[in-house]
Amino acid sequence: MLRFKNALKIDTIEADGYTLHITTKQPFPEFVSELVNPNVSIIDVTEDDIVNHPVGTGPFTLKSFEPGSKLELERYDKYWDGLSNLDSVTFSFNEDANARNACSKIWAS
- What local confidence, expressed as pLDDT, does residue 1 receive? 45
CA angle 73, 77, 79 (to 5 degrees): 90
Could you tell me the pTM of the whole model?
0.51
3-state secondary structure of 105: helix
**List of domains in the chain:** 1-46 (no CATH), 58-109 (3.40.190.10)
> Mean per-residue pLDDT for 40-52?
72
Q: What is the pLDDT of residues 8-39, one digit of tens each?
A: 888 998 988 878 898 999 998 888 888 777 66
Give CA–CA dist 62/67, Å, rounded.
13
Residue 63, pLDDT > 80, answer yes
